[in-house]
């Protein structure tokens, strides 16, 4: 008869990854968050958000970049709603920086809105809060472009 060990799970620093220990052997796994974005136009402003709560990290950042780039037009004013993003790593930050740079180069602008407290701390820690206009609500971000939310 085979001896079955007790399975213990430990979460790693918010990344959606984890470590299992079975019979003294460590096994790792990476759980990938399937990225689903929402988009809607409010006047001349494109609002992009996340359909489900999750993380913006190395495992899904390429999906994010491809999805967002497919939505953009030259000169777009964009609000990125981060209200459902619980964790962001350096890859996710890089994708947002690249989005802002791409928009700026094409005559567009980027605003961030509804940033969760933990993600806001990451922006402050990396000083990226100085590089972006960050608003409490999507409506405030839209209004910052001189548009009326509705």
Q: pLDDT band at residue 147, thresholds of 50, 70 and 90? A: low
The distance of Cα 23 from the centroid of its chain, to the nearest Å, equals 37
Closest Cα partner for 56 from 119, 135, 149?
A: 119
Residues 54, 124: one domain? yes
Residues 22, 54: one domain? no
Q: pLDDT band at residue 6, thresholds of 50, 70 and 90? A: very low
Question: What predicted TM-score, i.e. pTM, was given to this entire model?
Answer: 0.77
Residues 76, 24: one domain? no
Residues 67, 15: one domain? no
Please, which residues have CB within 8 angstroms of residue 148's CB and are 6 or more apart in sequence? Answer: 43, 142
Look up the domain containing 14 and give its range: 1-31
* Choice between 26 and 139, residue whose per-residue pLDDT is larger: 139
Residues 26, 50: one domain? no
Residues 25, 68: one domain? no
Q: pLDDT band at residue 149, thresholds of 50, 70 and 90? A: low
Residues 60, 132: one domain? yes
The CATH number that applies at residue 129 is: 3.30.750.24
Residues 26, 41: one domain? no
Query: Mean of the pLDDT values across residues 48-59?
Result: 92
pLDDT tens by residue, 17-39:
454 445 555 554 445 556 789 99
Q: pLDDT band at residue 124, thresholds of 50, 70 and 90? A: very high
Residues 27, 41: one domain? no
Looking at residue 91, what is its pLDDT?
95
Q: pLDDT band at residue 8, thresholds of 50, 70 and 90? A: very low
Residues 22, 86: one domain? no
Residues 134, 67: one domain? yes
| Domain count along the chain | 2
Q: Residue 96: is its pLDDT beyond 60?
A: yes
56 strand-pairing partners: 88
> Cα–Cα distances in Å, from 75 out to 29, 40, 143?
41, 16, 17
pLDDT tens by residue, 63-85:
999 999 889 887 899 999 999 99
Residues 87, 102: one domain? yes
Q: Does residue 150 lie within any of the structural domains?
A: no
Q: Does residue 21 lie within any of the structural domains?
A: yes
């Amino acid at each position: 008869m085979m001896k079955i060990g007790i399975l213990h799970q430990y979460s790693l620093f918010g990344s959606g990854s984890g470590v299992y220990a079975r019979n003294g052997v460590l096994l790792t796994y990476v759980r990938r968050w399937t990225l689903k974005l929402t988009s809607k136009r409010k006047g001349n402003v494109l609002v992009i958000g996340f359909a489900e709560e999750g993380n913006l990290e190395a495992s899904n950042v390429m999906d994010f970049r491809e999805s967002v780039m497919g939505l953009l037009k030259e000169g777009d004013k964009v609000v990125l709603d981060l209200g459902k993003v619980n964790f962001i790593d350096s890859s996710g930050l890089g994708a947002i920086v690249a989005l802002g740079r791409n928009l700026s180069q094409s005559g567009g602008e980027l605003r961030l809105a509804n940033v969760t407290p933990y993600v806001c701390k990451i922006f402050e820690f990396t000083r990226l809060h100085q590089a972006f206009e960050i608003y409490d609500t999507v409506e405030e971000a839209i209004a910052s472009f001189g548009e009326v939310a509705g």
